[in-house]
Amino acid sequence: MSHHDPILQFVDQHMSELSEWNQTIWQWGETAWREYRSARFYVDLLRARGFEVEEGSAGMPTAFCAVWDNGPGPTLGGYAEYDAIPGNCQAADVVQRPRDGLSPWAGGHTDPHSALGIGALGGFLAAQDVMKAHNIPGRLKFFGEPAEKVRGSKPLHAAAGYYDDLDAAISFHPFYMLPLCNTTRWDTHCGAAYGVIYTFTCEQPHTWMTSETSSPIPASHASARAPGANDAVVQMYQSGKGLREHVLASGVNWSMNEVILNAGQATADNQSAQMAQIMYFIRVPTVEMAEHVVRGLDHFAENAAALTHCKVKRDWVAKSRPGLPNHVMAELTYRNLAQVGAPQFGFEAIELAQQIQKNLGLAPMDKPYLPAIESLIEPQEAERLLREILPPNQKHFTSDDYTEYSWHAPTVRLYIGRPALDLPAGVKEGYPAWVMNALGGLAPCIDPMIEVASKTVGLTLMDLLTQPETLKKAQDEFRERTGGGIGGDDWMAPLCDYPPPLDFRWPEYVTTVRGKDDWVIPARDGDISI
């Protein structure tokens, strides 16, 4: 009997559990570096299923490394992500509203990473079950990767050597752009990404050039006030816009976003703001481009600090490498996806989509979902269409830190269609963002993607375990592309040379006297209740 059949049967038999687990992670909506409950959920679940789990891997409290060993054989890797995004708190509903008891500015799943993690987990649990039943040797290594939205964990795991023993790896992600839907990535993989935080501090406002010297009060109401940290961030913010306009030419090559991390110091007194922070996230095709942008930001930060009577300190959030293709892995995984078939939406999912359209004032469509979500596209054709919008010399496009795996083992990037709505004929304005967020939390709509992902991941793991010749071809290609494997002439070493950026004021949920799940920016380190 083919080992494929029991993989498919396992997923079919456990879809109700996978659906329920996705709902749990989705409803929590925990954001970067603060995914306490989500990480605990995975750790407990994997331990209950026989995995040896290291919590806090690579020094990250919400990361983990889970290993299940069935004897000498290949070590195959994969991962869950579970971080949500602030400002996207949407209920699983057909109207726009936050989840119960929360503000719209709380965290919410957009991609959704909740289903990303459960889709991958379903495949690994299916493979484990078949390995047990048929005594198939091998080792499964499943990671918990927090803070993906700031490219947080994978550069740290890579630098700490967690991927070095992998023989192959599978990266699954819900589709986020066409034509990368129900396919695998071919040549044009994701690019480099750098994240930096600049902290401005006004430590000696009393030495500002026009300060009073005759008053016993350091910040007299009659004194001129030093510009301070808030002004520094404003200057940095405006300068960054100039950098984007004059260096980061608009188009497909460059992307830089910024966010102000701290809420400032609310005061009615004549005092300078003492501390303020701004974070930049740079998504570019190459490491050289990222370094170029950071040099520009450093220059602006130094000048903003000098202008506002501040000091400035730079901290790293992320340094991730661009991706490395592996055609053997891409072809193998796509063949398995073709066996499973694209997601298909049932009556209940169609009815929910039609209700959303009606609530938005649109005529409900008989087939409300994008046709691409229910069909397949071969990797080579997706690559051809993707290249139509890119200059010939650009080798990487968009950003995701799965790329870290690709420098340590042959890695496939798998995309499965998630629910997204088509537009009625004649309608030009697209759907608001809450619609896709809500569809990710509505089980009848998101479960088809989880099912297809779990089956495809499981089948691919089984092939890698039972087809040594295929695995060898993937590894041969990896060695060829890296000039000899890890440490080879064309290999790029991990860029991470910084500790986990845990102690910044990342927003999170806390328990207060007013009740649970209040959404705040903590006042100080340790001001949380888990």
Q: What pLDDT is attached to residue 227? A: 84
State whether CATH 3.30.70.360 applies to domain 193-319. Answer: yes
SS3 at position 318: strand
How confident is the chain (530 residues) per 10-residue block, as mean pLDDT? 90 98 97 96 98 97 98 97 95 96 90 97 98 97 97 97 98 96 98 95 81 56 75 87 67 73 62 88 93 94 94 96 98 98 98 98 96 98 95 92 98 98 91 96 98 98 98 98 96 96 88 63 36
Which pLDDT belongs to residue 524?
Answer: 36
pLDDT confidence of residue 237: 86
Q: What secondary structure does DSSP assign to 339-386, as a single string?
A: HH------HHHHHHHHHHHHHTTPPPPSS-B-GGGGS---HHHHHHHH
Please give the Cα distance from 287 to 404 (Å, whole number). 13
Q: Which token pair is 53?
A: 């789990």
Q: Considering the chain, tell me which residue range(s) the CATH 3.30.70.360 domain(s) occupy.
A: 193-319
Domain with CATH 3.40.630.10 in the chain: 4-187+325-482
Q: Please give the pLDDT value at position 264.
A: 56
- Measured CA to CA in angstroms, residue 123 lies from 43, 170, 487 at distances of 17, 10, 31
In whole angstroms, what is the distance from residue 386 CA to residue 330 CA? Answer: 16
- Whether omega before 112 lies within 30 degrees of 0, making that bond cis, reads yes
- The pTM of this model reads 0.92
Beta partners for residue 69, in sequence order: 139
The CATH class of the 4-187+325-482 domain is alpha beta
What is the reported pLDDT for 105? 87
